Amino acid sequence: MASPTLSDVAQAAGVSYATADRVINNRGNVAQKSIDKVREAVARLGYVRNVAAANLSRKRVYRLAFLIPTGSNAFFRRIRAHILQTADHFKADGIRAQIVDVSAFSAEALRDGIVDLIRRDFDGVAIVGLQSQLLETPLEELRDQGVVVIGLVSDLPQGVRSAYIGIDNIVAGRTAARLTGMAHAGGPGKIQTFVGSMEARDHAERLQGFCDVIAADFPNLTVLPPILTKDDPSELHRATISALSADTRVTALYNVGAGNRGLIDAIGKAAGSRPFCVVHELVGHSKQALTDGHIDLVIDQRPDVEVNRAFAILRALIDDRAPPPLPDLMPTIYVRDNLPAETLNDTMEA
Amino acid sequence: MASPTLSDVAQAAGVSYATADRVINNRGNVAQKSIDKVREAVARLGYVRNVAAANLSRKRVYRLAFLIPTGSNAFFRRIRAHILQTADHFKADGIRAQIVDVSAFSAEALRDGIVDLIRRDFDGVAIVGLQSQLLETPLEELRDQGVVVIGLVSDLPQGVRSAYIGIDNIVAGRTAARLTGMAHAGGPGKIQTFVGSMEARDHAERLQGFCDVIAADFPNLTVLPPILTKDDPSELHRATISALSADTRVTALYNVGAGNRGLIDAIGKAAGSRPFCVVHELVGHSKQALTDGHIDLVIDQRPDVEVNRAFAILRALIDDRAPPPLPDLMPTIYVRDNLPAETLNDTMEA
DNA sequence: CTGAAAGCGCTTACAG
DNA sequence: CTGAAAGCGCTTACAG
């Protein structure tokens, strides 16, 4: 009943322990005859390599880095908190993870951050990326040193990363549109949209997905040209007030980007009925606004799920084995009724 | 830079390895003086116990059982698939998990299933539970043998399980109501509801949550008394047809229970415009119906997330340590635009 | 191409 | 109450 070990396999195959090990791990320098015998024994006994023992023996330590933009953005604060908490937990499993700050959304700064990583001997790094050619050379160098690189939240140039963990922002925009459309119940309407910057790929994609669905499935609705906000709460505040007061009779607001605090403040202070409101990312103030009935929907990318996945995928890539079955990642819809509890982790009872 | 080991701690504390081990693991029979010295050394060196090494040394194998109702219910098929896939992956980590069948939703059958577990030497079991006193004695016996018991999807009597992994069904019903309400855009409406059985606690809770929100926040809407379906597709088919044809002018349908195939068929064949439709659990046919535009929303409990959590929580409880940071569990809303990919697990690229 | 042996960080008898 | 030693299943030099 006990699982067969490598020495069981070696014995069954009639070779030494070391030889069995060589074929299990494809270390080469083994006669074909021995390979065949070992393979047969593995299959017959149902041998499964004990990863924990292997890691112990080779003193495996997973050194991970997370490159995260600095700044007071609530979403990235949330990501950081999850990384720290997860890193702390996995210390006992030989994982050393740290957050490396890079100044926000500048390709040059990000490139410099990556260059700094090169000689620091990490096994894997997760990077909140950008689509910039500037990053390609340093990323290739990292990879050539055997460092596993993945994109997190925002993708890196495809050729130089092993995986991307983040939502599809076109899907996120489509989802926002579907629900906004539903909320009009077939009636007419005008939707005011806000974007931080059209250069930000995630913003552009969300807006595109949104417009696609409205155009295709809600012919009674019009999407007004987006107002540029630079993700600045005060810009959003101003823009929201003017959208609310305009005689265009706006029936819905959709903010593709950040800065929601300004939008929420403006709505909270407005008198009378308000348009249907959709924003992205569940953080303190957007959650509160949902609870207070100032906005209707929050489309969220579940940074907790993303971080969870990042650790699992990095580990799997470093070990060159398949990742465990993980929950899928997709834009998640929150209304005021299905909000998560305050605590990060509280299923268990005392 | 290398992490301190227990022998570093022992040396620093001036005691033997074995003594250090005794205080780390609270094995008792240690002089207070030694305890203090070891504690101090642990704190000073920042010692973290290596769980993998400990498990290796004691040949730890986690024997897990999942008690799942039999039957062709698509939701439980999905749960089973996730359990099997996860179990397979974790074989390499010394986890042996198996599914134990119990015939569906009979307290007697479930009790017998639990009794059968008692001498089988599991470390942890996850049970799709029922609220029945019948279960208490066998569950206590299991617990007295040191087996960790958790409720999965549907809770067990609270006193005899260590954790519950499942959504809050009141929240699920409230969420369905919020979106159904939104979809009326302030206009009037009548909502036909369907339940499998009012004895099923999850059904009753969803219905209650649904009615609460409609009554509180959507005064223009009426919830019609639920039609009992026994979760039988043909019953649902019949009931849906009559709801669609009735001159009550139903504006929305909400099925609290299973059997959606019948509802979907009926809607697919109906001519003209249809009411707003909300069902539970994303499985093959509900996903297809969403894609085809036959229904509008699916509220899902993410069995993949639940299974993932179940493995992690069982392991943590068995080891008596804190579980890793895990994604929260809450009712998830699907529209046709944010559906997960077909595959169970496909973030990585080849 | 093959094998014997030490060691990874722990736990578990066993002997004092 | 304390310690020395074997062993968990593997990897890694090292010697042939």
- Is some CB atom of chain B closer than 8 A to the CB atom of A86? yes
Task: Tell me if A276 and B182 make a contact (CB, 8 A cut-off).
Answer: yes
Check if the beta carbon of residue A260 is closer than 8 Å to that of residue A285: yes
Query: Strand D: which positions are within 7 A of a protein CB?
Result: 1-5, 7-13
- Is some CB atom of chain A closer than 8 A to the CB atom of B82? yes
Q: Indicate yes or no: strand D within 7 A of the C-beta of B22.
A: yes
Average pLDDT over residues A309-334: 90
Give a three-class secondary structure readout of chain A: CCCCCHHHHHHHHCCCHHHHHHHHCCCCCCCHHHHHHHHHHHHHHCCCCCHHHHHHHCCCCEEEEEEEECCCCHHHHHHHHHHHHHHHHHHHHCEEEEEEEECCCCHHHHHHHHHHHHHHCCCEEEECCCCCHHHHHHHHHHHHCCCEEEEECECCCHHHCCEEECCCHHHHHHHHHHHHHHCCCCCCEEEEEEECCCCCHHHHHHHHHHHHHHHHHCCCEEECCCEECCCCHHHHHHHHHHHHHCCCCCCEEEECCCCHHHHHHHHHHCCCCCCEEEEECCCHHHHHHHHHCCCCEEEECCHHHHHHHHHHHHHHHHHCCCCCCCCCCCCEEECCCCCCCCCCCCCECC
Closest CA in chain A for residue B160: A349
Q: Dihedral through CA B48, CA B51, CA B52, CA B54, nearest 10?
A: 110
Label residue B233 left, alpha or beta by phi (over 0 means left) and psi (-120 to 50 means alpha).
alpha
Q: Indicate yes or no: strand D within 7 A of the C-beta of A155.
A: no
- Is some CB atom of chain B closer than 8 A to the CB atom of A91? yes
Task: Tell me if A324 and B89 make a contact (CB, 8 A cut-off).
Answer: yes
Task: Tell me if A92 and B336 make a contact (CB, 8 A cut-off).
Answer: no
Q: Which of residues 129-158 of A touch B (CB under 8 A)?
A: none
Percent of the residues in chain A that have a pLDDT greater than 70, as a whole number: 96
Contacts of A187 in chain B (CB under 8 A): 185
Q: In whole angstroms, what is the distance from residue A129 CA to residue A112 CA? A: 13
Closest CA in chain B for residue A303: B327
Check if the beta carbon of residue A340 is closer than 8 Å to that of residue B327: no
**Residue B35: nearest nucleotide (C-alpha to C1'):** D1
Whether A1 has a pLDDT exceeding 60, the answer reads no
Pick from B49, B183, B348: CB nearest A183: B183
Best A337, A339, A343 residue to mutate vs chain B (most B CBs within 10 Å): A337
Task: Tell me if B347 and A164 make a contact (CB, 8 A cut-off).
Answer: yes
- Is some CB atom of chain A closer than 8 A to the CB atom of B322? yes
**Strand (E) or helix (H) holding B151:** strand B148-152
Q: How confident is the model at residue A345 (pLDDT cuts 50, 70, 90)?
A: very low
Residue at B12: amino acid letter: A
pLDDT in tens, A44-57: 888 888 888 888 88
Task: Tell me if B177 and A323 make a contact (CB, 8 A cut-off).
Answer: no
Q: Per CA to C1' distance, which residue is closest to D2?
A: B19
Contacts A–B by Cβ distance under 8 A: 185
- Is some CB atom of chain A closer than 8 A to the CB atom of B296? yes
Instruction: Per-residue pLDDT tens, chain B, 350 aa: give them.
Output: 578 888 888 888 888 888 888 898 888 788 888 888 888 888 988 888 888 888 888 888 899 999 999 976 788 989 999 999 999 988 888 899 999 999 877 889 999 999 999 988 899 999 999 888 999 999 999 998 889 999 999 999 988 999 999 999 999 999 999 999 999 999 999 999 999 988 888 999 999 999 999 999 999 999 999 999 999 999 999 999 998 887 778 999 999 999 999 999 999 888 778 999 999 999 989 999 999 999 999 999 999 999 999 999 999 998 888 888 888 899 999 999 999 986 443 333 32
**Residue B60: nearest nucleotide (C-alpha to C1'):** D8
Q: Per CA to C1' distance, which residue is closest to D7?
A: B57
Pick from A172, A179, A340: CB nearest B328: A340
pLDDT in tens, A107-157: 899 999 999 999 888 999 999 998 889 999 999 999 988 899 999 999 999
**Residue B9: nearest nucleotide (C-alpha to C1'):** C9
**Residue A60: nearest nucleotide (C-alpha to C1'):** C8
Query: Strand C: which positions are within 7 A of a protein CB?
Result: 1-5, 7-13
Q: In whole angstroms, what is the distance from residue B99 CA to residue B80 CA? A: 8
B58: helix, strand or coil: coil
A204 CA: distance to closest CA in chain B (Å): 17
Q: How far is the CA of A305 from the C1' of C11 (A)?
A: 35
* Token output for B226: 């639920």
Q: Which of residues 187-226 of B touch A (CB under 8 A)?
A: 187, 209, 213
Q: Indicate yes or no: strand D within 7 A of the C-beta of B26.
A: no
Percent of the residues in chain A that have a pLDDT greater than 90, as a whole number: 59
- Is some CB atom of chain B closer than 8 A to the CB atom of A48? yes
Q: In whole angstroms, what is the distance from residue A350 CA to residue B5 CA? A: 30
Q: Indicate yes or no: strand D within 7 A of the C-beta of A335.
A: no
Least confident range of A22-26, A118-122, A341-345, B244-248: A341-345
The pLDDT value given to residue B223: 97
The pLDDT value given to residue B342: 65
Whether A349 has a pLDDT exceeding 60, the answer reads no
Q: How confident is the model at residue A25 (pLDDT cuts 50, 70, 90)?
A: confident
A22 CA: distance to closest CA in chain B (Å): 19
Q: How far is the CA of A16 from the C1' of D16 (A)?
A: 14
**Residue A6: nearest nucleotide (C-alpha to C1'):** D9
Average pLDDT over residues A76-80: 91
Pick from A307, A322, A326: CB nearest B308: A326
Pick from A50, A321, A345: CB nearest B325: A345
Q: Indicate yes or no: strand D within 7 A of the C-beta of B215.
A: no
Q: How confident is the model at residue A254 (pLDDT cuts 50, 70, 90)?
A: very high
A258 CA: distance to closest CA in chain B (Å): 21
Q: Indicate yes or no: strand C within 7 A of the C-beta of A33.
A: yes
Contacts of A95 in chain B (CB under 8 A): none
Q: How confident is the model at residue A342 (pLDDT cuts 50, 70, 90)?
A: low
Closest CA in chain A for residue B317: A348
Average pLDDT over residues A25-44: 86
Q: How far is the CA of A182 from the C1' of C16 (A)?
A: 80
Q: How far is the CA of A28 from the C1' of D15 (A)?
A: 19
Task: Tell me if A92 and B333 make a contact (CB, 8 A cut-off).
Answer: no
Task: Tell me if B94 and A52 make a contact (CB, 8 A cut-off).
Answer: yes
